[in-house]
A = this chain, B = another copy of it.
Amino acid sequence: MPSRGDDSLIRDSLISDLRALVGERGILTAASDIEPYLSDWRGLYHGQSPCVLRPADTQQLADAMKLLASRQVAVVPQGGNTSMVGGAMPDESGRQVVLSLARMNRIRDIDPVDMTMVAEAGVILKAAQDAAAEAGCLFPLSLGAEGSATIGGVLSTNAGGNTTVRYGNARELMLGLEVVLPDGQVWNGLRRLRKDNTGYALRQLFVGAEGTLGIITAAVLRLVARPRAREVAFCAVPDLAAALGLFRRFRDRDEASLQAFEYMSGTGVGLVLKHIPGTALPLAEAADHYVLVDLASPRPDAGLRTLIEAVLGEALEAGEVLDAAIAESTAQIQALWRLREEHSESQKLAGASVKNDVSVPVSRVPDLIRLATAAAERLMPGIRAVPFGHMGDGNIHMNFVQPEAMAPAAFLARSHDLMDQVNAVVRSLDGSFSAEHGIGRLKPDMLADWRAGAEFELMQRLKAAIDPAGLMNPGKVFEIPRS
């Protein structure tokens, strides 16, 4: 067993050899410089790392990966560090090197004929959206962390967000990848083809692999036509079945214009109105259930106003909608969306909360919300269920805020019991325990449990085939095998 002194020598030699490959700007070693990379923003984890690598380009990264592989040093890739599940955190050993993609932030190419963008992994999602807009197009992936999250991160986690119902997850918006493999080989799969049936779909494997199979360094992204018409409505509905019914009405009428369909509970909207300054209910009376409908089209003459009024009118008549407000300006659109987007913040201000990022088949969303709420209330009278999210794709953030009189710590002590209750409901409805946040460091035990058998074995076999030494983002997706 090496002594403390040996460790230190190995570390110094590693850093010096890495510096020779990536240059002075490509490596951080001072504790104060490294610190920001060692904690996740939710405050769930705090790790250690001998240095942070910040290569300038794919070749530097590949050279560094070769060196790290030869020394058997593990690598933890990090983009915008916005993981909800600790997916970009090193462990506490101080032996895992954090690899930041932040400096690889060039948009290499944007083509309004092919409707593609070639972006490096470190490009911030918002910057990609802006570049697409400048080229007269739309890059439709949109989520809360878009000001920090990076293209490498959203692909490695197959991020979802508000527009999945229309455009799919990150996976569906990707045509090609460049990946540095665990041994430092570069795979250039930056093809911008809509049809290419030549062997196994490798690019699909790296999307959502959370950096455990290799490092995504660049991607060909799909762009779509820029919307030129938009209509947004905020609706009170009598019950969960009516919310689903309203979704079906819009989807059936014109699914291509339906950019988002978001559910909110009366409790959740109430917390927003109470805790977030400047928010107001756009309806005369409060209700137990709300939905936000967002329609858009590249056609200025798409008749979206007629459509939204017609569908809401029919739904009012059928008793599926109690009241609705249609935004008359961009400012009003933003105000309506704010009622949805401030849900997380208002929950934080209301006390301790427990979050569940779950999904079920769309038809089971009412059951999910009803059964999970009932189970939580049985467990803990006074608990405030605040489910909200992407009803149109079956992904509900099944969150709970502590009872008003309870101590936060006492509430959080029960969080596993609560999650177990929710997950039992999700399982009974053929749902998923991680809809869009992934596994990271938080849920490997659940993956092993929920996907046990042929599926989990197959995943392990793929991991062993591509990263036999287990050096890629260890402890994420899979628990580290005890030696």
Interface window among A318-326, A341-349, A411-419, A461-469: A461-469
Given A254-B297, A465-B464, A195 and B390 contact (CB-CB distance below 8 Å): yes
Number of A residues contacting the other chain (C-beta, 8 Å)? 92
Expressed in whole angstroms, the minimum distance between the Cβ of A115 and any Cβ of chain B is 8
Given A195-B359, A200-B208, A255 and B113 contact (CB-CB distance below 8 Å): no
Query: Given the complex, which residues of B lie within 8 Å of A456, measured CB to CB?
Result: 199
Flag whether A360 is at the interface (Cβ < 8 A).
yes
Expressed in whole angstroms, the minimum distance between the Cβ of A333 and any Cβ of chain B is 21
Is B298's CB under 8 angstroms from A193's CB? no
CB neighbors of B among A200-225 (8 A): 200-202, 204-205, 207-209, 213, 224-225
Is A193's CB under 8 angstroms from B439's CB? no
Query: Given the complex, which residues of B lie within 8 Å of A209, measured CB to CB?
Result: 200-201
Docked complex Cα distance between A463 and B433 (Å): 29
Which residue of chain B is the closest to A226 with respect to CB atoms?
Answer: B252
Is A158's CB under 8 angstroms from B197's CB? yes
Is B113's CB under 8 angstroms from A362's CB? yes
Flag whether A41 is at the interface (Cβ < 8 A).
no
Query: Given the complex, which residues of B lie within 8 Å of A6, measured CB to CB?
Result: none
Which residue of chain B is the closest to A360 with respect to CB atoms?
Answer: B193
Expressed in whole angstroms, the minimum distance between the Cβ of A97 and any Cβ of chain B is 22
A residues contacting B by CB (< 8 A) are 111, 113-116, 157-158, 160, 164-165, 168-169, 171-172, 181, 185-187, 189, 191-202, 204-205, 207-209, 213, 224-225, 244, 248, 251-257, 297-299, 301-303, 306-307, 359-363, 390, 393-395, 430-439, 447, 450-451, 453-459, 461-466, 477
Given A437-B197, A464-B465, A202 and B458 contact (CB-CB distance below 8 Å): yes
Query: Given the complex, which residues of B lie within 8 Å of A464, measured CB to CB?
Result: 465
14 cross-chain CB contacts under 8 A: A111-B363, A114-B361, A164-B194, A171-B201, A187-B453, A194-B394, A200-B213, A201-B204, A202-B455, A202-B458, A224-B255, A299-B307, A458-B466, A464-B465
Residue in B172, B224, B453 whose CB lies within 8 Å of A172: B172
